[in-house]
Chain A
Amino acid sequence: MSKFTAFLDKKVSGPMARLAEQRHLLAIRDGVISALPFIIVGSFFLIIAFPPLPESWSIAQWAAEHAGEILIPYRMTMFIMSLYIAFGIGYNLAQSYKVDPLSGAQIAVASLLLTITPTALDELGFVLPMQYLGGNGLFVTIIVSIISVEIFRICKQRNITIKLPEQVPASVGRSFEALIPVSIVILLMTLITVVLGISLHEIVQNLVAPLVKAGDSLLGVLIPVFLITFFWSFGIHGVSIVGTVARPLWEVYFANNGEAAASGEALPHIAPEPLYQWFIWIGGSGATLGLVIVMLIFAKSDYLKKVGRAAAAPSIFNINEPVIFGVPIVLNPLLIIPFILTPLITATISYMATSIGFVSATFVKPPWTLPAPIGAYLATGGDWRAIILVFINMTISAFIYLPFFKIYDRKMLLMEEGEGETKVEAS
C-alpha cells in the first residue's frame, strides 16, 4: 500500500465506515431494510395496475377499469411504508440496547400513529389519514421512533418501571414493565399533536425540503456514486455504508414516485434507488459488468482469463465481489481510476436521460439480483427504452475499462511469463 492510500484508509475511509456503524444509524438502516420485502412486493402492483401493454388490449382495459382495486395491496404496503419502518427501527434500536425489542417496536409505532389525527366520517366511523404514513412521513418516523425507544430504554436501564413479584409469569411482567415508558411516550406525543396542535410532519417537511431537493439533483446523485466506489477501492462495502445515510432519502423519492404513478401524475423525482441499481451499478458498484465483458474478450494472461470466467455469472446478477477482490480492483491504482470514473459517467448520462424524458423515472423495485436489462425494464414500469439505456451504459463502461485493463493484463502476462522462466531455470 502506498503512503497515500494508507493515509486515506486510516484517516478517511476507516473513520467514515465506523461512523456508519453508529447505533442509531444502524437501527435506521436495518429498520428500512426490514420493510423492503413489503415495498418490493407492493410496488409490483403498480405494474399490474398500469401494465406496459397497448391500450387496445383487453388485459390493459381490464386493468384500467380495476386500477383502484388492483392497487389495494400497494396501498396497504409500500404506500404506508413508514408504519412498517417505524416497527423495524423500534425493534432494532431496542435490540441494540438489549431491551425487549417487541416493546420497542410497538412503542415506535404508537408514537408514529400519534403524529396524525383520525377523523370521524358518518358512514365509516373513524378514519386515519394515510398521507403521512408513507414516504412523506419517513423523517418524522425516524425521529419519533428513536426518541420513543430512547425513553423506553432509559426507563428500563434506570429501573423506572413497575416490577411485579417473581411469581408472576414473565410475559405478564414484561407488559407491566413497559407501562411507565409507554405512558411517558403517549403523553408526550399527545401533548405535541393534540394539546398543542403541532403537525410534526409539516415542520419536518419544511426543514428537510432543501435536503430532499439536493439529493435529487445531479450533484446529489454523483456524490453517493463517488463515495460508494471510493469505499470499495479500499475493499469496504460502499453501499452498506453510504446507503445507511442516503437510503431514507432514496425511499422518499421512491415512495413519492409510486404515489404519483398510482394517481396517474408525472413522476416528481429522478433519483430513487432503482436509478442507481439498474442504470449505474450494472454488474455491481463500479459498473463492473463492462470490465467482465472486456476480460472475457481481451484477457491474455491466464489469471485474468480465469477470473473473468469465474466472475461472469455472479456479475450478471450484480454480485461483483469476485471482480473487486479477484482482479483485484481493491488497492490497485490502475483499475481504481476507471472503477471510480465509469459510474460517475454512466450516472450523469442516466440522470440526463431521465430528466429529458428519454427514459421514465423509476417507481417499481425489482429484487437487486435480477439482470440489469430486466430490472431496468420493470423498475421503470415497463419502459423498453430503459433497456437501451442499460446497453448504452454497459458499452460505455466496457470502453472506459478497456485501456486500463489492457495495461494491467500485459503486466499480469509478463509476470506469468517471468514465473514460467524462473521455474524452467529452477528445474
Chain B
Amino acid sequence: MRVLFVCSGGMSSAIVVNALKSEAEKNGVHLTVKAIGSSEVAFELESPWDVVMVAPQIRHRFDKIKKEADEKNVPCGAIPPQAYTPLGGPVLFETLQKLVN
C-alpha cells in the first residue's frame, strides 16, 4: 500500500513514518510511506497513492488538501494528535485501516 504523509515541511512526519511502518509490518502489511510538505501535495497526487494522511498541526489546511485528494479519488484523513509521535504506531495503523476500508 502506498501512503502519503503530509505535514508542514515534510520533516516531522518523516519521524512518525517509521512508527507506522513497523506497526504495519507487525500486522503483516508492507507499506510504502512518503513524508512531504503541504505545498507538494498537488504535485505528488499526480502519481498513484492509496491514501493521504494529514498531520494535526496543519489541520487549518486539511480542507484544501482533502479537496485535492478527492479530485483524484484518493481517501484522505487527519492523523489524531495523540498518534503523531514516534510511539503512535498502533493508533496510526488503526487510523490508516479505517481510511482504506
A residues with a Cβ closer than 8 A to B are 14, 17-18, 20-21, 30, 33, 232, 235-237, 239-241, 306-307, 310-311, 314, 319, 321-322, 324-326, 328, 330, 369
The stretch among B23-31, B58-66, B68-76 that forms the contact with chain A is B58-66
A328 B82 Cβ-Cβ under 8 A: yes
User: Which among A18, A239, A324 has the highest number of chain B CB atoms within 10 Å?
Assistant: A324
25 sample A-B contacts, Cβ–Cβ < 8 Å, listed by A number: A14-B60, A18-B60, A21-B60, A33-B39, A235-B56, A235-B57, A235-B59, A236-B57, A236-B58, A236-B60, A237-B7, A237-B57, A240-B8, A241-B60, A307-B85, A307-B87, A310-B85, A310-B87, A311-B86, A314-B15, A322-B85, A325-B84, A325-B85, A326-B84, A326-B86
Chain B residues with CB under 8 A of A239: 8
**Known contacts A235-B81, A240-B8, A330-B81; A322 and B61 CB within 8 A of each other:** no
**Other than the known A321-B55, A322-B86, A325-B88, what 15 A-B pairs have Cβ atoms closer than 8 Å?**
A17-B60, A18-B60, A33-B39, A235-B59, A236-B59, A237-B7, A237-B8, A310-B87, A311-B85, A319-B11, A322-B15, A324-B57, A325-B82, A326-B86, A330-B81
- Chain B: interface residue count, which band? 20 to 34
- A56 to chain B: closest CB distance in Å? 42
B residues with a Cβ closer than 8 A to A are 7-8, 11-12, 15-16, 39, 55-61, 64, 81-88
Which one of A21, A326, A330 lies within 8 Å of B87 (CB-CB)?
Answer: A326
The 8 nearest A-B residue pairs measured at CB:
A326-B85, A17-B60, A321-B12, A237-B57, A310-B86, A325-B84, A322-B85, A237-B8
B60 A321 Cβ-Cβ under 8 A: no
Chain A residues with CB under 8 A of B81: 235, 325, 328, 330
Chain B residues with CB under 8 A of A236: 57-60
State A231–B68 Cα separation when bound (angstroms): 25
A237 B58 Cβ-Cβ under 8 A: yes
- Considering the complex, give the chain B residue whose CB is closest to the CB of A16: B60
State A319–B61 Cα separation when bound (angstroms): 20
- B23 to chain A: closest CB distance in Å? 14
B57 A321 Cβ-Cβ under 8 A: yes
State A236–B58 Cα separation when bound (angstroms): 6
**Known contacts A235-B59, A237-B8, A321-B15; A21 and B85 CB within 8 A of each other:** no
- B55 to chain A: closest CB distance in Å? 7
**Known contacts A236-B59, A240-B58; A319 and B8 CB within 8 A of each other:** no
Which one of B61, B82, B84 lies within 8 Å of A321 (CB-CB)?
Answer: B84
Which one of A33, A235, A319 lies within 8 Å of B12 (CB-CB)?
Answer: A319
State A20–B57 Cα separation when bound (angstroms): 14
State A211–B86 Cα separation when bound (angstroms): 41
Chain A residues with CB under 8 A of B84: 321-322, 325-326
A319 B15 Cβ-Cβ under 8 A: yes
State A364–B15 Cα separation when bound (angstroms): 28
A306 B15 Cβ-Cβ under 8 A: no
- Considering the complex, give the chain A residue whose CB is closest to the CB of B13: A321
- Considering the complex, give the chain B residue whose CB is closest to the CB of A326: B85
- B89 to chain A: closest CB distance in Å? 11
State A321–B83 Cα separation when bound (angstroms): 11
State A236–B15 Cα separation when bound (angstroms): 18
State A179–B94 Cα separation when bound (angstroms): 54
- A293 to chain B: closest CB distance in Å? 18
Chain A residues with CB under 8 A of B57: 232, 235-237, 240, 321, 324-325
- B2 to chain A: closest CB distance in Å? 23
- A295 to chain B: closest CB distance in Å? 13
